Amino acid sequence: MGQIPEQVPEQARELVRASARVLCVAIPAGFLTVFFLYPVGSILVRGIGVGGLERLVGLPGRGSFRGVVWFTLWQAVASTVLAVLVAWPGAHLLARRRFRGQAVLRAAATVPFVLPTVVVGGAFMALFERFGLSDGPLRLTRTVGAILAAHVFFNVAIVLRTVGTFWEGLDTRPEEQARVLGATPWQAFRWVTLPRLWPAVAAAASIVFLFCFTSFGVILILGGPTRATLETEIWRHAVFRGDLASATALAVVQLVAVLAMVVVANSMQRRRAIGEVPVRRVLPRASGRLLVGNLGLLAVVLGMPIAVLVERSLTTGRGADAAWS
């Protein structure tokens, strides 16, 4: 807002300032009310309305509901653990070593995170077919393994960027001092580096868990009708069965769970934000074996589905380049 002329009475200037403050609050509040509070409130009213409370109370007694909740939880936990384990070597490489193409690797690792779910599901189905994993004793199609693999593919970038960036800013002097005092590399990492790194790991893991807990497309495409989570059950009850009351009750349960996870994730993010002050230093060059091992792991986990996707997009049953003829 432009400067108010001096001849305008002080009372009028104060009124203009107050109006500006009200607008600054009212516009975001109105947007939040229309696009968040109203939809969420409608869900709560439907879920706890006439007959809804009894349905909510009765949900834990249903074996199918317990099975859905259990599968939703354990697949999210397993996906989170696998994503952290797969991304850990790459996070260490990006944080503690320098090599050519480092910026390219950071950018390339983010590509899976922005791909549409349907595209990723199709890529994994094509990958399984290409390597003979779509049927037979080693079948991965419509299995939990396919779901976990896709979740890792999607979420490795979160761990790489969150943990890697935080790790890069950690001061290495405490670890070096521990080594001087006789600690082994593992002991120095276990007792000095890891505790300082934990807030970033926990923050990344909580975000990955939230994404996997609310996963819809991956479960539907790669899990099939026999693998149900809260998200897919809400969809099935609402779309196929027309049971909006049950769908709303499940939505209320998921809403409460998601809000709790968001609170935890925000708490972890705050702990990470007030962590160490970034320290600039010259990083040692990555050895050949370390670089090849890390790049090989990321190429298998992230590169193969994308490579099969690109290959399928350029070919048809009539051969290469036929798709463009």
Candidate from 4-8, 10-14, 128-132 with smallest mean pLDDT: 4-8
Return the minimum-mean-pLDDT range out of 23-37, 38-52, 90-104, 130-144: 38-52
pLDDT grade, residue 22 (50/70/90)?
confident
Q: Percent of the chain beyond pLDDT 90?
A: 13
Using the Cα atoms of residue 8, residue 9, residue 11 and residue 14 in order, give the sign of their dihedral. positive
Question: Which superfamily does 52-309 belong to?
Answer: MetI-like (1.10.3720.10)
Pick the range with the lowest mean pLDDT from 123-132, 147-156, 264-273: 264-273
- Which has more pLDDT, 11 or 318? 11
pLDDT value of residue 85 = 93
Q: Please check the confidence at residue 2 and state whether its pLDDT lies above 70.
A: no
Mean pLDDT, residues 2-9: 55
The position carrying tokens 């490795």 is: 156
State pLDDT tens for residues 269-284: 666 545 555 555 555 5
pLDDT of 156 reads 92
Those residues with Cβ within 8 angstroms of residue 13's Cβ, 6 or more apart along the chain or in another chain: 4
User: 6 or 18, which is more confident?
Assistant: 18
Q: What is the mean pLDDT of residues 139-148?
A: 86
- Domain borders along the chain are 52-309
- Report how far residue 246's alpha carbon sits from residue 55's, in angstroms, rounded to the nearest whole number: 7
| Average pLDDT along the chain | 79
Average of per-residue pLDDT across 293-317: 78
Give the model's pLDDT for residue 56: 61
Q: For residue 159, what pLDDT band results from cuts at 50, 70 and 90?
A: very high
Inform me whether the pLDDT recorded for 288 exceeds 80.
no
Percent with pLDDT over 70 in the chain:
80
Q: How far is CA 146 from the centre of its chain?
A: 17
In this prediction, residue 277 carries a pLDDT of 53
Determine the pLDDT at residue 15. 77
pLDDT level of residue 3 (50, 70, 90 thresholds): low
pLDDT band at 78 (very low <50, low <70, confident <90, very high): very high
pLDDT score of 324 more than 50: no
Of the listed ranges 48-52, 209-213, 303-307, the least confidently predicted one is: 48-52
Instruction: Please report the pLDDT score of residue 8 as a whole number.
Output: 54
Question: pTM higher than 0.85 for the full model?
Answer: no
